[in-house]
Amino acid sequence: MDSLRVFNSLARDKQPFVPLTPGEVRMYVCGMTVYDYCHVGHARVMVVFDMVQRWLRTLGFNVTYVRNITDVDDKIIKRALENGETMRALTTRFIQYMHEDADALGVERPDLEPRATDFIPQMVDMIGALERNGYAYQADDGDVNYAVRKFANYGKLSGKSIEDLRAGERVAANTAKQDPLDFVLWKSAKESEPDESKWASPWGQGRPGWHIECSAMSCQLLGEHFDIHGGGADLQFPHHENEIAQSEGANGKPFVNYWLHNGFVRVDDEKMSKSLGNFFTIREVLEKYDAEVVRFFILRAHYRSPLNYSDTHLDDARSALTRLYTALKDVDGDGAAIDWEESYAQRFRAAMNDDFNTAVAMSVLFELAGEINKQRDPVLARQLSGLAGTLGLLGRDPAAFLQGGVGGGGDALRASVEARIDARAEAKRARNFAEADRIRAELLAEGIVLEDRPGGATEWRRA
């Protein structure tokens, strides 16, 4: 079978994946800044790299997956002060909400989930190494900055020349810098900031800059040179570019072999942003759509392509996932493991090994579903549920999915539907077909589809 190939943003090409240590993969992904609810963009990052780590494990790799939590930065300090609470209370609460959202989406917890505030000593040590190596300096305002022009390969990830670069996001204009491109490594404490945002350092009290957090945590937990670093395309510059400069400047060795970036989320073909009013939290979306539908929607697109969010696309995803579950509804798998020599499995594996091409892999699942509908073959049913399971899909009882969904109801809904099915059956026995049709139409208007089976039984599912 084909070996795994991944698109490496650093090489700007698709390359064979060869881990530093045979059989082992060390992967770091930039996580959330926890001061508010996670949005659809966060959902894509979580689901995409959950898919990546699942597939790496399916291939037999021993994976160490790290996804960090940023629990100190300007936005967190500002929100905590506005709320009249501690940073720790604020961030702990939103970490819990993040976990609830991720759990709903079927995202497995990373092996390690470091909080930035637990790694301040490692950040101070790395900044000290950068200062000794001539890459860092303390400015007149007390901040310690990275001298970008001192790092010869700055721009190699983003492909930008040093002349084209501008100071990155989260780096405020500062006349104390030696160069406008320089970015902050250590922020000198301000009197107005809470004590819990201040740590002692050789440069005085302060706190780390955003970029140094990920460099220090990844190198501490995965080593100074590791296999994969992932995140959203919006982080490629300046965040990931700065991570390379910091880590390689401090350690004098290559930082990461493969850089993976997922594409942007757009809403009705416009970039998602609060200013445009098209900004959706995961919780808002899950009020309208089943969480597995959202996961399916994200994975249906190739991870590097733009993802266009709309109710129309989610409705289509719900219908598509319903087709897969419907194929399994009356055909139980034989309980065996996936047969990777079987033709559908080989095609699925080839697609996934081609830079995690879930879009093509999904097409294989739908072909399998079509064959199950024709042949009612338990072996094919096992292959469908097993292959989909490597993506974190089709793990529920088909009837539970088909009769479930968003909108509430639960046992009360089930009782109401089944009572009307019984009333419809009674009407048919009395040859009152108009009443039977009225009940079917009433249920359909409520989003309930009735399916009359051979032998007179009637089953139902969500539309």
pLDDT at site 1: 41
Pairing of strands 226-232, 24-29: parallel
Annotated binding site for Zn(2+): 30, 214, 239, 243
pLDDT at site 169: 41
Annotated binding site: 30, 214, 239, 243, 274
| CA–CA separation, 222 and 225 (whole Å) | 8
Residues of the chain with pLDDT under 50: 1, 167-171
pLDDT at site 168: 45
- Report the amino acid identity of residue 82: E
pTM above 0.75, yes or no: yes
Q: Which residues contact 171 (CB under 8 A, 6 or more apart)?
A: 183, 184, 209, 238
How many CB atoms sit inside 10 A of residue 67's CB? 25
Q: Which residues contact 291 (CB under 8 A, 6 or more apart)?
A: 104, 105, 106
Domains and CATH numbers, the chain: 9-266 (3.40.50.620), 311-396 (1.20.120.640), 408-462 (no CATH)
Annotated binding site for ATP: 274
